[in-house]
Chain A
């Protein structure tokens, strides 16, 4: 299993200089990928913009979206942006797409929330087989799709290379992995889907990390507390988590920061390398 690190693009207080330095250190560290999250109605840096910047200061690390909320964007422009980042990064982009969980993102973007699933399917079809593909957009671009519903797994198996899990304990990932493989099999795909997992960590100021998660997930109501309780705040917790995901068949696990402190990259690097 490969291990990646998140770029704190949705962590308030992270400025451009910090994001670039973070990307440089990630590129120099033991991480296979550098991943971003997507939120419109929240203090954050737009994910594909962040990855374009990261592309300019990195040369090795894979750049991934975990995930971009596809339906918020126009299909042609989303494809164009992704293809542009992919080109600038010398073919290092992995584009994870999903419908997201926040209504307010759809409201500010002026997009119909009810059609989100069908729209994401159209976008994936565009990237892989439609007009986008006809223009060469998305050639060689690794695509992932997320979501926990049956239709989300079907969409993943039909149009993409793998599954982007939304986070949780290893047993939750393992259950999702079975569904992803079952869907893959149902669609007659050969081999196995690429399985990407994610988890949150804070190795410095754990309380600040928990406060961020409570705020970021406030829209989920009581569930925010559960996510905050799952924040990995010690080397041991991270190692257990990594082992659990590896056992569950994860191909790439991305550890997402909850504190935008540059030292977090080195702290995590030490745990992963050690």
Chain B
């Protein structure tokens, strides 16, 4: 086979080695535009897992590479004058120059032809049975075949600049520095016995405020040296074409077109904050070489390569997206205590959880748990060994919730759930009026005698050691539907009732049109809420949440998609908030001050023209100012045709934003099914309480029977 590889980076060189090793009859040319010793960048990082693959693929280069390695197992987090260290994260790094020299030598030894200073202008003219585009993040080939490959390249995360330094670190180190312009952070790690990589980043607005957009390279080095003088401890920052950049996020629907295949950064990038670029590139080379060991047909091999690599890379890119987003917004976490800040940082991409960190670094988790228990109790008390965060009590709104687990249940099942170890049980919607029901079987709190009906249920929950929160609301235009057994928002065929909403817009295609609320309706509604809240207090509920989510009546006022009013209750956010805040104020006035009052809130409509996350944070802030002590974070369902993104914990990132930006305790669900998720979310300060879903499994049944 005749193979042309364009680009003599780690991926291109390594592929040349592996293909030639597999079959010395392959004729392999590697073409590179730069001279052999030119390289951009400092050190590159590998994990243990990647090293195993390198060892299996080519022992000779593995030995040479690992001989020059800088190795460490710690991640340091320097934040607010503390240096917190987490261990057990085995990493290795090598100078990029050194890595390339080893791979070039091996290529020459195996008879792979290396040509430097070759510029490719016309990708279609490169000869070969197989043409490998290993020409990096700015790949000429990818741009040439952008349509066929379905390429998407977009900037991601902060502004960043890549320096070296003669400071030799002994760990991966994150450094956070507050300035008048905003927060700056550093990602630094050693790559040999002489030097470390030192990447500085900050969000673009901070970068502009610091006037970095107008600085020359020496000026920006001087700025960074000054900012991190204490951390550099007398050492210098070294430049290597070190200019401020945007990180390009590269994705391709397909990684090959005819006999041209993308490798490494040409095919995909993963934000440097999870440090996986070179690792992914070399793994690509291994997978592609293996595909040619299984198939002689070029097309079949390239399909095999894509099937193997795309799902893996997608997962890494997902984690990289989370990580890049984290660093872009990290300034909002500056209120967290150092221990929690560190745990939040370590768990940012979803790849490390409380449980997996406990395996890597039991000491860190022990200290975290102890700190968390202390912080959760009124009298801060250091414990040597503490239960995990989900078992820490939560003091909130005059209550102490015994643990962080919340489960929702219908009225009949509340008692059983309370006996299952849940700290707080949550009722389904109880409507404040008869016409506020979702469906005929929806419980209400519209009459005085209902307080006594609930009283015994509340007592049973208390006897089980749990607290109970009632959800009070009005279904608005999502009312008068059939029970949810066969679907949601299916209108009642008979026996319906007139609906109310902010504006006369029907919800689903066959839903009845609601009436826009007038002054009288609002007065009646406010009265119904206060009357229901008083009854709930009488029934003994510990907590009450007002429903302002999922397109129900109060939520319909908040969203511009459902509120088209031109009176004082529509238009500006202030106007759209008016009725919800009036109801909140009324309820706050009658609800006992030593019991918890929360709001269930859709913080983004997930729909164009609707409430977005920024506005959702503003709403949460306004509700907090009016006495809400807990925000139960929800999203979507404001209108039926929205753009949700479902996955495990799909609301966690939203809760994190509400909690850190509106500074209010949060309750979050979003399909959480394991204690580990709760420990991670609560421990990292992304929420205070978690609503979990548990389904009885075969194992449950086996053990119970």
Contact = CB atoms under 8 A, between A and B. Distances in A.
Interface in A141-186: 149-151, 153-154, 157-161, 171-172, 178-183, 185-186
Contact of B646 (A131, A179, A229): A179
Contacts of B485: 190
B482 interface: yes
Interface stretch (A24-32, A220-228, A238-246): A220-228
Interface string B653-683: 0000000000000000111000000000000
Contacts of A158: 487-489, 640
Interface residues of chain A: helix, strand, loop or mixed (majority): helix
Interface in B491-533: 491, 493, 508-510
B300 A178 contact: no
Given A186-B644, A226-B306, A134 B671 contact: no
Given A121-B640, A187-B488, A181 B671 contact: yes
A121 B508 CA distance: 9
Interface string B473-497: 0000000011011111111010000
A160 B487 contact: yes
Contacts of B641: 117-118, 121, 151
Contact of A183 (B307, B481, B646): B646
Given A125-B490, A181-B671, A226 B510 contact: no
Contacts of A181: 671
Interface in A228-257: 228-230
A208 interface: no
B382 interface: no
Contacts of A150: 606, 642-646
A151 B256 CA distance: 30
Nearest to A123: B509
B373 to A, nearest CB: 30
B647 A222 contact: no
Contacts of B487: 124, 128-129, 158-160
Contact of A223 (B254, B311, B509, B648): B254
B636 interface: yes
Contacts of A159: 487-488, 490
Contacts of A178: 646-648, 671
A41 interface: no
B67 to A, nearest CB: 37
B646 A225 contact: no
A129 B643 contact: no
Given A151-B641, A154-B642, A160-B487, A185 B509 contact: no
A130 interface: yes
Nearest to A138: B486
B398 to A, nearest CB: 29
B481 to A, nearest CB: 8
A45 B99 CA distance: 59
Interface size class of A (residues with CB under 8 A): 35 or more
B299 interface: yes
B303 A229 contact: yes
A267 interface: no
Given A159-B488, A222-B257, A134 B299 contact: no
Interface in B609-658: 636-637, 640-648, 650
B453 interface: no
B647 A179 contact: yes
Contacts of B27: none
A189 interface: yes
A126 B510 contact: yes
A183 B643 CA distance: 12
B148 interface: yes
A134 B670 CA distance: 34
B304 interface: yes
Given A153-B644, A223-B254, A129 B491 contact: yes
A133 interface: yes
A154 B304 contact: no
A53 to B, nearest CB: 29
Interface residues of chain B: helix, strand, loop or mixed (majority): loop
Contacts of A151: 641-644
A110 interface: no
Interface in A191-229: 192, 221-223, 225-226, 228-229
Nearest to A229: B303
Contacts of A183: 644, 646
B488 A157 contact: yes
Interface in A94-145: 117-118, 121-122, 124-126, 128-131, 133-134
A9 B683 CA distance: 54
Nearest to B635: A186
Contacts of B647: 178-179, 182
B509 A125 contact: yes
A129 B507 CA distance: 13
B693 interface: yes
A134 B669 CA distance: 35
A181 to B, nearest CB: 7
Contacts of B645: 150
A179 B200 CA distance: 37
Contacts of B650: 182, 186
B125 interface: no
A161 B490 CA distance: 13
A251 B370 CA distance: 44
A125 B641 CA distance: 13
A188 interface: yes
A226 B302 CA distance: 10
Nearest to A157: B488
Nearest to A158: B488
B695 interface: yes
Interface in B337-385: none
A222 B307 CA distance: 12
A130 B510 contact: yes
A122 B509 contact: yes
A182 B671 contact: yes
Contacts of B508: 121, 125, 129
Pick the 8 closest A-B CB pairs, nearest first. Answer: A129-B490, A130-B510, A182-B671, A182-B646, A179-B646, A150-B644, A222-B254, A225-B303
Given A121-B640, A128-B487, 14 more contacts: A126-B509, A129-B491, A129-B508, A150-B646, A154-B636, A154-B640, A154-B644, A158-B487, A171-B311, A179-B646, A187-B488, A192-B695, A226-B306, A226-B307
22 contacts: A117-B641, A121-B508, A126-B510, A128-B490, A129-B489, A129-B491, A150-B642, A150-B643, A150-B646, A158-B487, A158-B640, A181-B671, A186-B646, A186-B650, A186-B670, A187-B637, A192-B695, A222-B148, A223-B254, A226-B306, A229-B303, A229-B304
Interface of A: 117-118, 121-122, 124-126, 128-131, 133-134, 149-151, 153-154, 157-161, 171-172, 178-183, 185-190, 192, 221-223, 225-226, 228-230
